[in-house]
Structure 1
């Protein structure tokens, strides 16, 4: 005889499992096809950047005047540039520098911007909020690219300074986003209840505000990654970013311009790589946003 569970008993094993991986797999399964394609594109480029040293076929900095501007071959899959260097190896290793600098800088900017924005939103109308809003307004008068150029021009070119420039260029924008999202949460009743129970400001920010804006800030940061790649490659193209002979997509475009009419591939391949990354990020983020707000698909 089958017993009937009494009300209030724990859920049976037949109910859907909860946990990080089951929830993640269900979330991925619900994504539209375009988001899945974008996720695969982004994941592919991240794997290329991580395993770049294992994928190289030549030393990307070795020059050969004999093998300058050669076409596709079994030895040089994507040909050689104006200095006789292997384009494929430079493209692969350039992915590591371009993506690593951009992602690291934006993650740091997102972390700082999130906490500054949360603190300002919690102190809405106070002195801290007024100072933060004023600084954001001042810094956002500069376009992202111009602000990055100013920082690098002051600090000098180099990997570290380019990363710092990207971080500073995106910090006011991410701070503004975090503050705007948090303002709608601060007015909720449970925040007032936490204050009435004597919870500290730090506890309210970390326990109640931060978890509620993490998904939005993650999506916003991912969307800004495409712009971050453009800023990094533009700085390298201008000679303010990664310095030769270290490969970078922006530097490869700059070096390939001299031989553009006789050998366009050293410049075209990094352009296509940049387009591939930005397209993948946009498809992924747009799909995630549509999945979170299904009504937007019909708008």
Structure 2
């Protein structure tokens, strides 16, 4: 009688373990951690100086000295790849922070003033900003102010903010209908207390998801801008710039 019970317990334990360890999520976390680790390591160590050129050893294949070969100027490709991790990670992080700073307060304000003209005006303005893709906004700013890392950060952060506004507004509307929020209002609690004490803790999970997606999109957008020559200017290593430089040698 005890054997079937043990078997069921074992099966249940295996299922719980499967639920607890999500394989795709774990694989993604490992890859992200590896990229972040490369960025941190590049701050203190690279096999070669990624900015030093060596025309006598240009376009060489992988070797014990140059693990991924050299580029058209003789720079070590592996060192440039590792050092180039810093820029997209920094751009992604700052862009997400800008989106959070802009999107969360506006989203909460739009939800709390939904019955008046202010909430409607905020959302219509949000629609106008969202109509312009973040990448297009970054290209326009780069054309006006010149290519720079900070221009890419600001443009991508502003361009992604409308998504945070909508997510925050939707989550806030759900929280405002809860009984404990109504009780807090009846007790005389103001909007600021409600936002900090009740809204932010309950929309935190959706904001984390939105920030994760925004970070990934910002990294890709920075690479695209650098590839077009509108992102991080040389000689700072950048993944997009590396692709642009290598394109001339593809055949």
TM-score (norm 2): 0.88
Equivalent residue pairs, number:
236
Contact residue 95 and residue 215 of structure 2 kept, 8 A = no
Residue number in structure 2 paired with 1:240: 230
Cα deviations by residue, 1:169-211 (Å, 9 ceiling, x for unpaired): 1111221221122222212222111111111211100110000
Q: Which runs of 5+ in 1 are unaligned?
A: 1-25, 262-299
CA deviations on 1:35-71 (whole Å, 9 max, x unpaired) are: 1111111111111112213341111011111011000
Please give the residue correspondences for 1:88-237 in structure 2 after superposition, counting only pairs within 5 Å.
88-237=78-227
Distance in 2 of aligned mates of 1:208 and 1:31: 31
Q: Alpha-carbon deviations, 1:118-175, whole Å to 9, x = none?
A: 1211221323312210111111112232122223323321111111111111111221
Q: Is residue 98–residue 229 contact of structure 1 (8 Å, CA) maintained in 2?
A: yes
Aligned mates of 1:85, 1:259 — CA distance in 2: 15
Q: Which residue of 2 aligns with 1:70?
A: 60
Instruction: Tell me which of the two structures has the higher relative contact order, counting C-alpha pairs closer than 8 angstroms and 6 or more residues apart.
Output: 1
Distance (whole Å) between structure 2 residues aligned to residue 186 and residue 155 of structure 1: 42
Please list the CA deviations of residues 61-86 of structure 1 after superposition, one character each: whole Å capped at 9, or x if unmatched.
11111011000011100000011101
Runs of 4 or more above 4 Å deviation: none
- Corresponding position of 1:292: none
CA contact (8 A) 2:134 2:158 kept: no
TM-score by length of 1: 0.75
Contact 1:55 1:92 in 2 (8 A): no
CA separation in 2, counterparts of 1:130 and 1:136? 10
| Contiguous gaps of at least 5 residues in structure 2 | 1-15
